[in-house]
Chain A
Amino acid sequence: MGDTFSANCPSGAFARIRMYRLGIGDCFLLTFVGGGSPRHVLIDCGVLQGTANGKQKIERVAESIRDETGGHLDVLVATHEHWDHVSGFQQAGDIFDALRVDRIWVAWTEDTNDPVAQRFKEEKRMRLQAVHMALNQLARIRSPEAEDYGSAIAQLLGFYGGPAEGASLAAFSENTGFAMKAVTERKNGPSPTFCKPGDVLKPEWGGGLRVYVLGPPRDPAALRDLRGKAGTDIYKIAGIDSLYLAALTQTAGEEPDDKSFPFHPSLRWLSEHTDKILKNDALAHLYKSYNDEDAAWRRIDNEWLVSSARMALQLDSATNNTSLVLAFELDDERVLLFPADAQIGSWRSWLGLQWSAEQAGRSAAVTARDLLQRTVFYKVGHHGSENATRKEDGLESMTDGRLVAAIPVDQTFANDTKKWRMPADPLLRRLTVLTKGRILRADVAWPQPDDPPPAPGPGDDEWAQFRTSVHIDPGGLFIDYMVQ
């Protein structure tokens, strides 16, 4: 346990940040050295569905965590309910369940007693189900157009751990929920702390260590990333989709009720009753126009199912914004920022936060901007996508010259397989400037001990210090960064 850490740790280190190299998937083990033995905080453990050998990788990581911590986590953090953040707690459930865990930190949005959180979860469940049924229906249609639409939507569902081969529908939509529950409802306890923005967490072992909670925001509009439009309320929106869902259940073979139709059911001529339709001249003409083979390109059978792409996105976006955002403030006031996948709405909400002098244990109140300005380690949000790092009042406020960034990403997989812009070029370029090239990436084993500094890069001293602060696991499992 402590031995490994000390062995790799130059003297004078405060903390070590270990990024497990899972590709598109977050798993960070933070180890703090205070007066006594090292203390371990694990933030997330997950890998995106579709990653090659995902389960095996996760198991190796879980074993490594167990061995490294001696089977004891001081704090376990699960940031949000996305497969690429929590899959490990299910995929390597045996190992995690056997760990001794003192504290569990999750976002307030996971609290079953919080009515807002519950509505949010319910809406999410409903949407996920809708997306799913729409996908199933597209799969049944078997046209190239339906196939295109379907595959585009299915790509988005990788964040929900499915659809895995042969998995039942229910199992799929519940998968991620189970993984999160493996944390919040751990058999061996403890019960989780539901963190709200504005909270400060102060582990009893941590000495001067303070953990500021920045997100998820309490304002539902911010959760949805809505652009402060007058009076927009997320929960009002939910009703709008109820009819869409009704149509999907109907097509899935269940009995519809009258309220599921826009008009009195007697006004509708079911497509399958062709004999009746063809008896009526005007209808027959309509029917023939629509079903004319030469005009098949103008049919719209698949179009309404595309709504589910919008739902999948909203779902994804809203879930990203439920990310627990933590800023670890070290004894010497330096900050390590872990925003998980928080998007703009969340970032924007931080600006309204303030911690009193008393909470912060300082002479003056602390704002989110202060924390950003003192950030020396930034876990880049959402695998480096452009929308999860706010520039103005975000990245641009991280002005500390010592700033280092870490991106858990697999660019080849993201760009080539998923066709996603991860990591985003403009963000990467800006990060390079702000960090002077000190960006650690899960998909690149860099820097090696002999690597020259990137150009235009840090000064010689800075470079020397950075290089000696990084340790790359020869087995390829992780990259360690020492905060000295």
Chain B
Amino acid sequence: MGGAPLAEVIPVRIATSVILLATSAFVEAIDYLIAPNANGALRADVVSMSMGGVASKAWAEVVNRAYEAGICLVTAAGNNKLGSPQSIVYPARFRRVIAACGIMANRRPYIRANVGFGQMAGNFGPDSKMDTALAAFTPNTPWAEINCPGIIDMDGGGTSSATPQIAAAAALWLQKHKGNLSYNEPWMVVEAVRRALFASADKSLPNSRTFLGQGVLQAARALEERPAAAQELVKTPEDAASFPILHILTGQGVAAPAPRDMLEVEALQLLQRDEEIEQTISDPDLPAAELPVQEVKRFLEATIASEHASATLRTYLKRVYTSRFAGPDLRALPDKSLPYGKTEGEVLLMRPTCRRLRGYAFDPDLATRLEATDISQIVFDVRWEDDLRPGPVGEYLEVIDYDPASGGYYAPIDLDNPNILATDGLPPTESNPKFHQQFVYAVAMKTIETFESALGRKALWSPRMHGRKDYDYVAQLRIYPHALREANAYYHPEKKALLFGYFPAAARDPGRLYPQGMVFTCLAHDIVAHETTHALLDGMHRAFQRPSNEDQLAFHEAFADIVALFQHFSKPAVLNHQIAKTRGDLRARNMLGELATQFGEATGLRGALRSYIGETDSKTGQWRALQPDPTAYQTVTEPHYRGALLVAAVFDAFLGIYERRSADLIRIATSGTGVLPSGAIHPDLVGRLSEEAAKAAQHVLSMCIRALDYCPPLDLTFGDYLRALITADLDLVPYDPLCYRVAFVDAFRRQGIYPMDLATLSVDTLCWKPAESEGREVSNFFAPVLRKLRTFATESEYLNSGRRSRTRKGDEREAIFRHAWRWRAIIHDQIKREIKKIKDKAVRARVTIPLGLDFSAGDEKFEVHSLRLARKRGPYNTTQGQIVMSLVQEKKVSSGKAGDGALFAFGGGCTIIADLEQSKINYIICKNILSQARRDRQIAFYSRPATSLFATYFDDTGLNGLGQRFAMLHADEGDEING
């Protein structure tokens, strides 16, 4: 130990994480240290433990044993972020243990109020504990690097790093004075040490007692403290995992179910786990008689309402409460603890897996068309959320039905209302805003589920930016179902919100629509799915919002359409109906390949807003199948139209796959002729074809979503996306008997979409170059970084495992976000150090150029742009653990050839895909910041002609954001490829 170099250290491993402490492990460890060693002496004099958890009776007992044996225990007071307890955790909370609190370099207490938002802070209090607490310096203390002997970083943080300083001081004091001690009771040694440390501590800071306990540790001074005389030492009372409140409750005429001490422990643990309960009591360790009555009352109310409390405890406390505070109606208290998965009496109730909600399959228009009545309404199986509040407001979404143009609010729906639960939600209707709320919630949640199941991880929204800083976590995407009075809907990237409009249908010749009838964009499945996808994509790749080439915004639109489109195939009733109608030929006109029909017709188009299988000829009014136009990719620039080319390619690939999958079925049904007899096809054949279509669609959509991890972090082109698609699929599904990948390559070629720099177009050449090909220097460079990434991954697994010690429901995603945020900084510093180590400029260039970064000076700024652990499940249940990380750098460069033009930010960097099992880097997908060609292309893109009036008036920066929205429609309807 650095603080007490001559002390012998006995490492005892009891857990893999500082916040994951099993009750028994701690007890066993201390007992091991109490037990005499071979020489018959104590194994340990001082114990330093930077861990904590929830109290138990066994802990209290082992702490008492250690104290009686003369072992001085020093443990961390604990740390808090958002939503976790701010008072000292156990075992530090025991009075026979010294709690290590924190003091910062600026000599201010290391507590919530003194650190920045989102940063870790130390715990303190309750007041009665502070007599046996002491503070030492943290954060940024020297801290050994795991697995790196000899490396000490200055990154020690939390009260964890304060703890060993105090323990070391205790050890030093014992080294100096132990020989002179002559006490007849072993515990006296503990008290003597504590007395020396406490007496010598600096108590001069303001509020020292409250935040720092006995003050700030001064080890050198402590050594000057002579051992106290035996009679001066007072034995600290025995520690117990009990709870004074419950003591005062006894003798109230309410018999406690035996064993009562179990209930006491549970109550105490609840106090540690549940912030709401914790807040009811200012100092739970006070003697029972001193507890304010109001606090006792609030404590009881909160505990009875707590979802964490056991049924037995709640029943008992209810009785106590009624007897003690007769009057208030307990039934009014919310009882959130539906006993899912817990035994109540004999019956085991399971938590529902999904919430069934009725809705429109496409949009309300279909409900009024006779030929489609049987498929106009479907039931969505939406993932069950426990804490769904009226709105609906859940873990991911916050529906806020405020209609500014109408000057008011619409009352929010409570999906947990039994009447609604029992009827699969409200019936579809345009006239009840509560149904609208239900519908946007259902469709948006389904879209999120699709993403999460393809990516194998939780979806996060993009953080709120403060300049370039991205620490501001956004838990819920807001949905405003009635925000606008226009034929439009958009995702607002700054407000992290979806805004939907409503408008009267076009007046004259409105197709099948009721003239002037209200059209709600929030009731169109496709529009809701499209906008939600914009938000999800922004959460993964926020640089894709900034156009740096023709494809970037178009990709956003295309991707949103792809997700909306392929969700059509996840509705069996609709799929069956359409397969029957088209006799299995999905190239014939059908609803599955069209988007936003009602919207299209209501805004004056004769049909869907966008169709990927065919279109109605403007002159003849005849529908005809779309023919790919390979030149369009070179000429079309408006994002929606350009995006449509990508969607068309993906849809074409899907059709190819579907046809291949169903070819045998058609052969069987036609005795090999391949020509179906006229008339309706057999319902069994419909069923089987639908199954194939559903499978193909699901596979294609998953491929498309998974490809996002394999995209470069910025400056994406369609060609890059094709490469990402192919590589991601090749990684997860090496064996491809149905030739999905070939179908994709083929479809993209027909649309004329190629990567820019490939000699040939095939599955092999399209796959990103393996990172090994960059050579040994690069892999050596990454070795230490990979080690760090493994630690990150191990910790992430814990976050992802669903075991949440003190994290409350819904905080899990925030924990993932904060964890990644913290680790981005760690990895950044590691990479920076590694780069600084390379003194030779040429070597440095060889290592960093493959990353797309410029480190010619060696100290250039860069950013770890994103960092996620991904675990994907492929077919045959293969899983894949990966780390996806991106590095980004930005330079101000001149737009003029001679360096005379306006400056613009030119970005470069890479996405790094690391394999966890093999501990190696698979791919480095890079956009080189030094590439002159790419820079020239970007300059050309920025100075492209403003082909529309809109572009004449509003520049790319979007003039106050007016131009930057992902609208369903583009802001200027009038543009043409000009030039």
Which residues of A line the B interface, CB within 8 A? 145, 148-149, 151-152, 155-156, 224-244, 247, 250-251, 260-264, 267-272, 277, 280, 282-283, 285-287, 289-290, 297-301, 303-304, 306-307, 309-310, 313-314, 316-317, 320, 343-345, 348, 385-387, 390-392, 419-422, 424-427
Contact = CB atoms under 8 A, between A and B. Distances in A.
A424 B945 contact: yes
Interface in B408-444: 408-412, 414, 431-433
B412 A304 contact: no
Contacts of B514: none
Contact of A262 (B487, B515, B520): B520
A287 B492 CA distance: 21
26 contacts: A226-B974, A227-B974, A227-B975, A230-B605, A231-B604, A240-B603, A247-B405, A250-B407, A262-B502, A267-B410, A271-B407, A271-B409, A280-B411, A283-B412, A298-B496, A299-B495, A300-B483, A301-B404, A304-B485, A309-B971, A343-B949, A385-B946, A387-B948, A421-B952, A422-B952, A424-B952
A247 B485 contact: yes
A230 B617 contact: yes
Interface string B487-499: 1100010111101
A202 B100 CA distance: 100
Interface string B260-274: 000000000000000
B3 interface: no
Nearest to B497: A298
A260 B955 CA distance: 35
A419 B955 contact: yes
Contacts of A385: 946, 949, 952
A306 B965 CA distance: 11
B516 interface: yes
Contacts of A227: 973-976
A269 B408 contact: yes
Contacts of A233: 506, 508-509, 604
A244 to B, nearest CB: 4
Contact of A317 (B487, B943, B949): B949
A122 to B, nearest CB: 13
B597 to A, nearest CB: 13
B431 A264 contact: yes
B205 interface: no
A271 to B, nearest CB: 6
Contacts of A234: 604
A313 B976 contact: no
A289 B412 CA distance: 12
B962 interface: yes
B604 to A, nearest CB: 4
Nearest to B413: A282
B663 interface: no
**Sorted from nearest, which 8 A-B pairs have the closest CB atoms?**
A225-B974, A239-B507, A236-B506, A148-B960, A231-B606, A247-B405, A282-B390, A230-B618
Nearest to A383: B952
B398 interface: yes
A309 B953 CA distance: 11
Contacts of B409: 268-269, 271, 277, 283, 286-287, 290
A353 to B, nearest CB: 18
Contacts of B616: 230-231
B618 A228 contact: yes
B508 A320 contact: no
A283 B408 CA distance: 11
Nearest to B480: A300
B800 interface: no
Interface of B: 389-391, 393, 398, 400-412, 414, 431-433, 464, 478, 480, 482-488, 492, 494-497, 499, 501-510, 515-516, 518, 520, 602-607, 615-618, 621, 943-955, 959-962, 971-976, 978-979
Given A235-B508, A385-B952, A300 B495 contact: yes
Given A230-B607, A263-B431, A310-B486, A345 B952 contact: no
Contacts of A231: 604-606, 616, 618, 621
B495 A298 contact: yes
Most buried by B among A149, A262, A426: A262
B953 A269 contact: no
A8 B409 CA distance: 72
A413 to B, nearest CB: 14
Contact of B433 (A239, A263, A283, A392): A263
A316 B403 CA distance: 29
A427 B398 CA distance: 48
A264 B949 CA distance: 39
Contacts of A289: 393, 398, 400
Given A229-B605, A240-B504, A304-B405, A386 B400 contact: no
Contact of B482 (A237, A262, A271, A307): A262
Nearest to B503: A240
Contacts of A261: 406
Contacts of B503: 240-241, 243-244
A267 B408 CA distance: 9
Which of A228, A267, A304, A306 has its CB near the most chain B CB atoms (within 10 A)?
A: A304
A314 to B, nearest CB: 8
Contacts of B518: 243, 262
A264 B401 CA distance: 15
Nearest to A273: B408
Nearest to A151: B960
Contacts of A243: 485, 502-504, 518
B508 A247 contact: no
B410 A345 contact: no
Given A243-B502, A264-B431, A286-B390, 17 more contacts: A145-B960, A148-B961, A230-B607, A268-B403, A272-B407, A283-B409, A286-B411, A297-B495, A300-B495, A303-B492, A304-B405, A306-B962, A385-B949, A387-B951, A392-B978, A421-B946, A421-B952
B484 to A, nearest CB: 5
A391 B947 CA distance: 10
Contacts of A287: 409
A152 B963 CA distance: 11
A425 B955 CA distance: 14
A264 B433 CA distance: 10
A387 B403 contact: no
A282 B388 CA distance: 12
Contacts of A244: 405, 485-486, 503
A238 B403 CA distance: 22
Contacts of A344: 974-976, 978
A239 B949 contact: no
Contact of A290 (B402, B947, B976): B402
A182 to B, nearest CB: 27
Given A261-B406, A310-B486, A421 B955 contact: yes
B962 A309 contact: yes
Contact of B973 (A224, A299, A390, A424): A224
Given A236-B508, A298-B496, A307 B485 contact: yes
A49 to B, nearest CB: 15
A282 B399 CA distance: 12
A420 to B, nearest CB: 6
Q: Which of B485, B501, B508, B621 has the most CB of A within 10 A?
A: B485
Contacts of A286: 390-391, 400-402, 409, 411-412
Contacts of B506: 233, 236-237, 239-240
Contacts of B943: 425-426
Contacts of A419: 953, 955, 959
Contact of A270 (B407, B508, B604): B407
A43 to B, nearest CB: 22
A232 B605 CA distance: 5
Contacts of B478: 298
Task: Find the residue from B393, B484, B952, B972 having the highest chain A CB count within 10 A.
Answer: B952
A447 to B, nearest CB: 25
Contacts of B393: 289
A271 B485 contact: no
